[in-house]
A and B are shown apart, each in its own frame.
Chain A
Amino acid sequence: MKGFIIKEFLHIFRDLRTMLILFGMPVAQVLLFGFAITNEINHANIAILDQAKDEISMKITEKILSSGYFDLKAVLYHPNEIEPAFSKGEIKEVIVFEPGFGQRLEKEGKANLQIITDASDPNTANLLFNYTSGIVRDYSREMMENKKPPLQISIESTMIYNPELKGVFMFVPGTITILLMLVSAMMTSISIAREKELGTMEVLLVSPLKPIQIIVGKVLPYILLSFINAIVILTLAFTVFGMPINGSILFLLLESILFIVMALSMGIFISTVSQTQQQAMLLSMFVLMLPTILLSGFIFPVENMPLPLQILSNIMPSKWFIIIVKSIMIKGLGIAYVWKETLVLFGMTVFFIVLSVKKFNIRLG
């Protein structure tokens, strides 16, 4: 057993391609997905609905427009016009001053400003809101220097189209899922298929090794390497992109291991039905990768799919894992909230392990 694991590690470390897929790809993918989501704003088109039209509201407007980040595309006169303005798709943000904005601020020391953003591009929406509110706060700080009672402009943020900001940081749970799936399932299925293709499986079979020993020997190195991978992705997401990890890291890693084992057992299953490396790779691609990308909710929200696809998405292990990762990282939830999803993954793992041990041929052909 020990000899088998050592041998497997040697295979991995000697093959440049395997090493690249194992360690180069995760980093490249995280960076790609991360930077593909823009985090800089230049000349974003906005509209302004100024229901006060007083000195202070004009000054704030002027300050926002002169920042260089925003271009005034339209001036609105009635709240009814907000929705149509967004539908045209030309503007990303509307700034709304309440009626009597300046007066209230002077008399009551408090006034309301609303920032409405188009959250169908959630990342941009978030950034626009942060930039705008930053400018407004700057202004109120300048004013405070003159007035004794502190002035307060309360800023209300409203996101339309995608109020929960789904999609923000979605790339991290999605990327972790895809990469773990790819590395675990594809690499193991290929490595077992390679033994078949090169004829070494014949020699392994004519030895006292039991099927379970061959499988565990194949899988253990990949569990370890996939786990390191998960940590690398999480670290990158946390440090480079500021992805929050609100829940327990330990719990997140435990769930990752469960998912890795699940993916590996799927990989073994694939290898039992394929004879060549190429077959194993194509099967992994079509059976695992495409459904994972398309049906798991990584790119297209499950809620927006037609009902048959929604039902189909339930058999995608990645869907459940993405829910778990999101819940832990973004919402900071614990086992009490994701036990159902965990159970589903666990069930799938057991199913595939039993299936592949049963299916593993003790003879040729």
Chain B
Amino acid sequence: MNKGAVILQDITKSYKTVKALTEINVSIEKGELFGFIGPDGAGKTTLFRILTTLLNPDTGTATVAGFNTITDYKAIRKIVGYMPGRFSLYQDLTVEENLKFFASIYKSTIEENYHLISDIYRHIEPFKHRKAAQLSGGMKQKLALSCALIHKPEVLFLDEPTTGVDAVSRMEFWEMLKKLRSQGITILVSTPYMDEAALCDRVALMQNGHLMAIDTPDAIIKAFGLTIYAVKSNKMFQLLTDLQSIQETEAVYRFGDVVHYLNKSSSFDPAKISQHLIKAAHTEIIVKQTVPTIEDSFMLNMRKSDSFNTQGNDN
């Protein structure tokens, strides 16, 4: 029974009109830093709420540390830490008061588990008499993480912890998560940022309530199998449609300030791209081969799963 820290079997959940999750199957090992990657509306929040016993799935079973989320919800609530998607601390209480309160509802004290949070709390301790409402986004996030950790949870659920946080704070945050993992805490993170996927031990790519791929970030990239060409020209607007008309095109999509082009044929000659674009009156053409990323993998998977394109809901 206790194979993994978190096990989901055939989890399906629908709201009134939308199907939020469809047959989710995944097993997360103890001590793993596991990421659910997907855009808004992929079903990440619903999944986290099921695992934190806030919602019951329509079908399927989920266990956290061996406890069933429906029947043993009381046991789960003692051992998990949860950081919801939006800032859910008391804005009118100070940093220290928030932390004290969350320690007290788990019958613990700040002193007892200070070692767990010291790395994180250290950053905001100088402001401990400041009200939570007056903290910056990055500091709020650190406070919320401290509060979720103060009772030494076995499994930590972080729902989009880095959304709305600046790049520097995001990197700091992931550093903290890695330290926490080394203390044996199983961590489940959801994020819409593809670049954060590489920081997880394993990731699950999520779209419209489906899990498209579950593997280590490296394996997902390795499994990509196609060569990516980053293309630029003077007419970026037409570039997408013009590239589509090349023979055997697998996919064309915007990627930052360039367009990524994939061709089905393994013997594809990139010179064809330039030739094709010159005919279409493009100038300043740049074609470069580039390494695939999780985002490329996501885009490709998303196109494949378009066949069962159901509407997702993230709330």
Q: Are A363 and B84 in contact (CB under 8 A)?
A: no
Tally of contacts, chain A with chain B, CB under 8 A: 74
* A363 (CB) vs chain B CBs: closest residue: B54
Complex interface: stretch among B3-11, B90-98, B185-193, B234-242: B90-98
Complex interface: stretch among B74-82, B203-211, B244-252: B74-82
B264 at the interface (CB under 8 A from A): no
Specify which chain A residues have a CB less than 8 angstroms from the CB of B73 in the assembled complex.
362-363
* B93 (CB) vs chain A CBs: closest residue: A10
Q: CB-CB contacts of B29-65 with A at 8 A, as 1s and 0s? A: 0000000000000000000010011111000000000
Specify which chain B residues have a CB less than 8 angstroms from the CB of A363 in the assembled complex.
53-56, 73
A307 at the interface (CB under 8 A from B): no
Q: A2-B104, A4-B105 are in contact. Are A206 and B74 (CB under 8 A)?
A: no
Q: Are A209 and B105 in contact (CB under 8 A)?
A: yes
Q: Are A364 and B55 in contact (CB under 8 A)?
A: yes
Whole-angstrom CA separation of A363 from B88 in the bound complex: 16
Q: A363-B53, A364-B55 are in contact. Are A4 and B92 (CB under 8 A)?
A: no
A365 at the interface (CB under 8 A from B): yes
Q: Are A364 and B92 in contact (CB under 8 A)?
A: no
- Set A200, A207, A209, A362: member contacting B90, Cβ < 8 A: A200
Whole-angstrom CA separation of A301 from B93 in the bound complex: 46
Whole-angstrom CA separation of A200 from B78 in the bound complex: 17
What is the predominant secondary structure among interface residues of chain A facing chain B?
A: helix
- What total of chain A residues lie within 8 Å of the partner, measured CB to CB? 24
A11 at the interface (CB under 8 A from B): yes
* A17 CB to nearest B CB, Å: 12
Enumerate B165-208 residues with CB–CB distance to A below 8 Å.
none
Q: Are B78 and A11 in contact (CB under 8 A)?
A: no
Specify which chain B residues have a CB less than 8 angstroms from the CB of A6 in the assembled complex.
101
B255 at the interface (CB under 8 A from A): no
* B75 CB to nearest A CB, Å: 9
Q: Are B90 and A364 in contact (CB under 8 A)?
A: no
* A45 CB to nearest B CB, Å: 57
Specify which chain B residues have a CB less than 8 angstroms from the CB of A7 in the assembled complex.
90, 93, 97, 101
Whole-angstrom CA separation of A315 from B182 in the bound complex: 61
Enumerate A87-137 residues with CB–CB distance to B below 8 Å.
none
Q: A206-B77, A362-B73, A365-B55 are in contact. Are A3 and B105 (CB under 8 A)?
A: yes
Q: A2-B104, A7-B97, A208-B74 are in contact. Are A14 and B56 (CB under 8 A)?
A: no
Q: CB-CB contacts of A15-50 with B at 8 A, as 1s and 0s? A: 100000000000000000000000000000000000
Q: A202-B54, A363-B56 are in contact. Are A3 and B84 (CB under 8 A)?
A: no
14 interchain pairs, CB-CB under 8 A: A3-B100, A3-B104, A4-B101, A7-B97, A15-B92, A198-B90, A199-B87, A202-B82, A202-B88, A203-B88, A203-B102, A205-B77, A207-B102, A208-B107
What 19 additional pairs, Cβ within 8 angstroms, besides A198-B90, A363-B54? A2-B104, A3-B103, A4-B105, A7-B101, A10-B97, A11-B93, A199-B84, A202-B82, A202-B84, A204-B105, A206-B52, A207-B77, A207-B105, A208-B78, A208-B105, A362-B73, A363-B53, A364-B49, A364-B55
